[in-house]
């Protein structure tokens, strides 16, 4: 390479300094590219949902044909053209961070997988899947930085971790949550050697989003507060309810991901496309039965519930739960972050019929955070991300308490968070391909 030829004419210290500056430059440049990718995926997700509404505008029964066919085609692409692009994408990144060398990581976070994630995720949203873009953005961000890291001196998983955390920060416009997510959920250990570089990548991604989209909060600013006294009873009630629901969601997804036993499980393994079609039929039927827009990310619906703007559709949460669960077990590429927040908001909205003395805004924020905690069992990330997305600092203490309660409630249903449990399946598959290489344990 040109750099290597130039470095030969320098002293040892100068060579090391040059390589370190190059690495810093690549981290920042990669953060900019990840920010651009996050913006692209956000725009594609919005347009895909608009296209689904346009396609189903003549009659909602159009979804009975569109959604199953779309699910089948998306799964066909995921299996035949873009393997390892299925599902959220976060488990693939976690698994890649645990693998010991580039050769094993590449199938999980290659640029081909990242491209497939964008294409098939968009296709799923066009066809009415109840999926999000934030999880896929993590895998795409990881893929971008993994590719850039191949050119960097001192190769290490820090590039992959930086890309994934920058993806979270840019997707939600929550830089602090990106850092916390990287520590608590992706790496579960903080390597001080690369901490500054990772933060630099997050800043670059955030500034890119800020320059193009402007300063915004994901769900808008709220002024919800929970007064001391009887209103605090909502914290354990809502946290346990939503934590159990999130744990149930994870348990069912893990059952299907690991493979059901018996004849049914064997049929699903042999016919993944046909099973995806059946799941698509279920999603379409749930949409017709609910009478509310349960397809898509759920961002608009959650925002409407938070701000109590024309939202009389009680029962949204359970129906969104069904649609998201079917979308997840189908295996098509798509995230669960945004749908989980929407489910939590919907469940909290239904609880407001009973908990009438509690401010609806406070109740909804607790429900969103508690359900997300129940699914991923990352309580710190959950309360930080909800706080940053709504710019509501008055709710930090109630959200922290609810996160801890929801986390314990979820563990009654399932012992481990969804992303890490799914990552173990990818690690097991990699171990079968490379029996001589053991994953990194932390």
Flag whether 11 is in a domain: no
* Count of the separate structural domains present in the chain: 2
Flag whether 2 is in a domain: no
Cα 275 to chain centroid distance, Å, stands at: 23
Which whole number is the average pLDDT over 112-129? 94
Instruction: Note the pLDDT tens digit of each residue in 235-245.
Output: 888 999 999 99
The domain boundary, picked from 188, 213, 238, lies at: 213
Instruction: Note the pLDDT tens digit of each residue in 59-117.
Output: 999 999 999 999 999 999 999 999 888 888 889 998 888 887 778 888 888 999 999 99
Q: In the structure, what pLDDT confidence band is assigned to residue 275 with cuts at 50, 70 and 90?
A: very high
Range of the domain at 65: 22-213
Which whole number is the average pLDDT over 117-136? 93
Q: Which residue has the higher pLDDT, 328 or 303?
A: 328
Asked if residue 359 and residue 288 are part of one domain, the reply reads yes
Flag whether 223 is in a domain: no
pLDDT of 195 above 70: no
Asked if residue 256 and residue 171 are part of one domain, the reply reads no
The pLDDT of residue 1: 47
Asked if residue 316 and residue 381 are part of one domain, the reply reads yes
Angle at 352 between CA 247 and CA 399, to 5 degrees: 55
N-to-C CA span, the chain = 35
Q: What CATH number does the domain containing 178 carry? A: 1.10.3080.10
Identify the weakest region by mean pLDDT among 2-6, 300-304, 353-357.
2-6
Flag whether 219 is in a domain: no
3 state SS for 167-233: HHHHHHCCHHHHHHHHHHHHHCCCCHHHHHHHHHHHHHHHHHHHHHHCCCCCCCCCCCCCCCCHHHH
Radius of gyration of the chain (CA): 22
Mean pLDDT value across the chain:
82
Flag whether 189 is in a domain: yes
What Å distances lie between residue 215 and 2, 162, 167, 271, CA to CA?
40, 22, 17, 46
Instruction: Note the pLDDT tens digit of each residue in 312-327.
Output: 567 889 999 999 999 9
Identify the weakest region by mean pLDDT among 26-30, 137-141, 194-198, 359-363.
194-198
pLDDT of 437 above 80: no
Q: What are phi and psi of 416, to 5 degrees?
A: -135, 150
Asked if residue 239 and residue 149 are part of one domain, the reply reads no
- CA 350, CA 345: separation in Å to the nearest integer? 9
Question: Would you call 13 exposed, middle or buried from its count of C-beta atoms within 10 A (0-12, 13-18, 19+)?
Answer: exposed
Asked if residue 240 and residue 123 are part of one domain, the reply reads no
Residues above pLDDT 90, as percent of the chain: 37
Asked if residue 206 and residue 246 are part of one domain, the reply reads no
The pLDDT of residue 57: 92
Asked if residue 406 and residue 336 are part of one domain, the reply reads yes
Flag whether 16 is in a domain: no
Asked if residue 194 and residue 256 are part of one domain, the reply reads no
Q: Do residues 374 and 358 touch, judged by C-beta distance below 8 A?
A: no
Flag whether 135 is in a domain: yes
Asked if residue 126 and residue 178 are part of one domain, the reply reads yes
pLDDT of 369 above 70: yes
Asked if residue 206 and residue 244 are part of one domain, the reply reads no
The pLDDT of residue 127: 95
pLDDT of 389 above 60: yes
The pLDDT of residue 148: 85
Q: In the structure, what pLDDT confidence band is assigned to residue 17 with cuts at 50, 70 and 90?
A: low
Asked if residue 320 and residue 412 are part of one domain, the reply reads yes
The pLDDT of residue 160: 80
Which whole number is the average pLDDT over 405-424? 92
Asked if residue 297 and residue 165 are part of one domain, the reply reads no
Flag whether 12 is in a domain: no
């Amino acid at each position: 390479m040109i750099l290597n030829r130039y470095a030969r004419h320098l002293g040892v210290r100068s060579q090391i300094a040059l390589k370190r500056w190059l690495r810093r430059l690549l981290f920042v440049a990669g953060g900019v590219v990840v920010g651009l990718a996050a913006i692209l995926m956000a725009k594609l997700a919005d347009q895909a949902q608009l296209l689904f509404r346009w396609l189903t505008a003549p009659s909602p029964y159009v979804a009975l044909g569109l959604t199953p066919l779309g699910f089948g085609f998306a799964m066909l692409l995921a299996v035949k053209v873009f393997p390892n692009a299925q599902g959220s994408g976060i488990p693939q990144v976690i698994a890649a961070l645990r693998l010991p060398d580039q050769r094993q990581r590449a199938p999980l976070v290659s640029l081909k997988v990242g491209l497939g994630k964008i294409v098939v995720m968009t296709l799923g949203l066009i066809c009415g899947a109840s999926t999000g873009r934030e999880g896929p953005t993590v895998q795409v961000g990881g893929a971008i930085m993994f590719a850039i890291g191949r050119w960097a001196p001192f190769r290490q998983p820090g590039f992959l971790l930086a890309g994934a955390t920058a993806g979270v920060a840019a997707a939600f416009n929550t830089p602090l949550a990106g850092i916390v997510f990287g520590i608590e959920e992706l790496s579960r250990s903080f390597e001080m050697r690369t901490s500054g570089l990772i933060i630099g990548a997050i800043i670059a991604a955030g500034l890119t989003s800020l320059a193009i989209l402007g300063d915004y909060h994901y769900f808008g600013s709220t002024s919800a507060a929970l007064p001391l006294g009887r209103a605090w009873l909502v914290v354990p009630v809502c946290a346990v309810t939503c934590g159990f629901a999130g744990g149930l969601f994870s348990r069912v997804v893990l059952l299907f991901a690991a493979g059901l036993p018996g004849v049914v499980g064997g049929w699903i393994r042999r016919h993944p496309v046909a099973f995806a079609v059946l799941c698509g039929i279920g999603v379409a039927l749930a949409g017709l039965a609910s009478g509310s827009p349960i397809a898509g990310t759920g961002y608009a619906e959650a925002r409407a519930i938070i701000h109590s703007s024309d939202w009389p559709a009680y029962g949204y949460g359970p129906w969104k739960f069904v649609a998201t669960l079917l979308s997840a077990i189908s295996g098509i590429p798509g995230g669960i972050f945004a749908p989980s927040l929407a489910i939590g908001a919907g469940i909290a909205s239904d609880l407001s019929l009973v908990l009438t003395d509690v401010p609806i805004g406070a109740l909804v924020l607790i429900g969103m955070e508690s359900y997300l905690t129940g699914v991923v069992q990352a309580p710190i990330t959950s309360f930080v991300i909800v706080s940053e997305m709504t710019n509501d600092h008055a709710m930090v203490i109630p959200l922290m308490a609810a996160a801890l309660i929801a986390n314990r409630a979820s563990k009654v249903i399932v012992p481990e968070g969804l992303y890490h449990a799914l990552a173990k399946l990818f690690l097991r598959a990699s171990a079968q391909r490379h029996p001589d290489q053991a994953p990194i344990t932390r």
